[in-house]
Structure 1
Amino acid sequence: MTRKPNSKGKVVKAPSLVHKYNETMGGVDLGDQLIAQYETQFRSLKLWKKILFNLLMTAT
């Protein structure tokens, strides 16, 4: 459990898992932003091809 003051200054308990999730969420947002740049090019592809291209784009 981690403790963090809220906007009114009251200390609120939160599971440490929530804190870890919030720390690493930025990487997911960045990945989504990068994929969104290429998404319009592959609009007519089948789902499996779209997933394959997204994996290749994020691996490079």
Structure 2
Amino acid sequence: MAVTTTDWTDPIACPFCGDELASPGAGFVDHIHESATCEAEFEFWRENISDDVVGEWAG
């Protein structure tokens, strides 16, 4: 994660850049579609945990 911690403790802040999100769910999805850097960080994170979450996830 690009922010100074690996713990995502604030659900209304992007864990990758720290920007405030409009909402914790849809706001995060909108944010990563608007920010190429955060989308790339999210995809990198997702690839790293893909073996831990069998069959993807619904959320």
TM-score tier after normalising by the smaller chain length: 0.3 to 0.5
Scaled by the length of structure 1, what TM-score is found?
A: 0.33
Rg comparison, structure with higher value: 1
